[in-house]
Chain A
Amino acid sequence: AQSVTQLGSHVSVSEGALVLLRCNYSSSVPPYLFWYVQYPNQGLQLLLKYTSAATLVKGINGFEAEFKKSETSFHLTKPSAHMSDAAEYFCAVTLSGGSYIPTFGRGTSLIVHP
């Protein structure tokens, strides 16, 4: 079985500041990990994914995430926040060779102040 925990239901940053959204996972086998973004009144779209090729993954809009097996983490970062980054962010996990049904975290709302 797998699970995902996103720490902090809301994260508030100033425009230009570092964005850090936290995701920790639990799985018994090597995981595949994803970050999705949801803008207001829209569906989710894939931001980036980890599929064991490289531990540092770069995604769209300047976001990146690093897979750290020792910490069971896959935190999402962006060096400088833009107002347009304000959205809901979801971390998700599936298992290699196991259940292909993703498990989602509860989401983190990113608020960007001018």
Chain B
Amino acid sequence: DAGITQSPRHKVTETGTPVTLRCHQTENHRYMYWYRQDPGHGLRLIHYSYGVKDTDKGEVSDGYSVSRSKTEDFLLTLESATSSQTSVYFCAISALEGQTSYNEQFFGPGTRLTVL
């Protein structure tokens, strides 16, 4: 199994508080992603990173920010949590190999976040 951990695994917080989720990998993969999973919506990309300090927005980035200061860590911050951000958050990693860009992803175990 790919070495990907997420912390915390569960969190309950209140509306308006900042929250930071951490993704840590031991695979030295260049690419890292944050998704949220909600019933009926599948997986939606929040932000992704293609290298240290190189990040870009996904389709549902409003209200979220990310940082990547080291290859192994990718942080997701909810600047002021809202009830609509109650979800399960998954981190994923991938390594593009040479010219082969099919980009198989490996996923972490997820973080269940509840915003009251």
A residues apposed to B, CB below 8 Å? 9, 32, 34, 36, 41-46, 49, 51, 90, 94-98, 100-102, 104-107
Any chain A CB within 8 A of the CB of B34? no
Cβ–Cβ < 8 Å partners of B40 in chain A: 9, 106
A45 touches B107 (CB 8 A): yes
Interface string of B27-46 (1 = CB under 8 A from A): 00001000000001111010
Inter-subunit contact B104/A46 (CB<8 Å): yes
Among residues of A, the one whose C-beta sits closest to the C-beta of B110 is A43
CB of A108 to closest CB in B, whole Å = 10
> What's the dominant secondary structure at chain B's contact region?
strand
**When the two chains form their complex, are residues B102 and A94 in contact, meaning their CB atoms are under 8 A apart?**
yes
Of A34, A100, A104, A105, the residue contacting B96 (CB under 8 A) is A100
Q: A102 touching B103 by the CB < 8 A rule?
A: yes
Which chain B residue has the least Cβ–Cβ distance from A44?
B107
CA distance A96 to B43 in the complex (A): 21
B100 touches A106 (CB 8 A): no
Query: Which of A9, A49, A95, A101 lies in contact with B104, CB distance below 8 A?
Result: A49
Question: Could you tell me if B105 and A106 are in contact, using CB atoms closer than 8 angstroms?
Answer: no
15 A–B pairs (Cβ distance < 8 Å), ordered by A: A9-B40, A32-B101, A32-B102, A36-B105, A43-B4, A43-B107, A44-B92, A51-B100, A90-B42, A94-B102, A100-B94, A100-B101, A101-B103, A104-B42, A107-B43
The answer to whether B104 and A107 have CB atoms under 8 Å apart is no
The answer to whether A101 and B42 touch (CB under 8 A), given A34-B104, A43-B90, is: no
B109 engages A42 (CB within 8 Å): yes
B101 near A90 with CB under 8 A, answer: no
Residues of A contacting B104 in the complex (Cβ-Cβ under 8 angstroms) = 34, 46, 49
State which of B48, B96, B100, B110 has its C-beta within 8 Å of the C-beta of A42.
B110
Which 10 A-B pairs give the minimum distances between C-beta atoms? Answer: A43-B107, A32-B102, A106-B42, A44-B107, A100-B103, A104-B43, A100-B101, A107-B42, A51-B102, A94-B103
Bound Cα distance from A95 to B48, whole angstroms: 17
How near does chain A come to B54, taking the closest CB pair, in angstroms? 14
